[in-house]
Structure 1
Amino acid sequence: MSATPGAPPSRRLLAGAHTRAASAWVAGTGVAAIGVAALLSPATIDDGPVLCPFRAVTGLPCPGCGLTRSWVQLVHGDPAASFAAHPFGAVLMALVLALAAVVLLAAMRRRPLPDFEGLVRRPWLVVLLGGWLVFGVLRLVSEL
Structure 2
Amino acid sequence: MSESAASTTKKRPEFYNIDGASLISYRWPLASIASGMHRVSGAILFFLMPFIIWMFDNSISSEISFLKFKAAFNEGMLGLPGFIWKLVALGIIWASLHHFIAGMRHLWMDTHHEHVTKDFGRQTAAVVLVLTLTLTLVLGAKLFGLY
Give the TM-score, by structure 1 length: 0.38
Structure with a larger share of its residues in helix: 2
Larger radius of gyration: 2
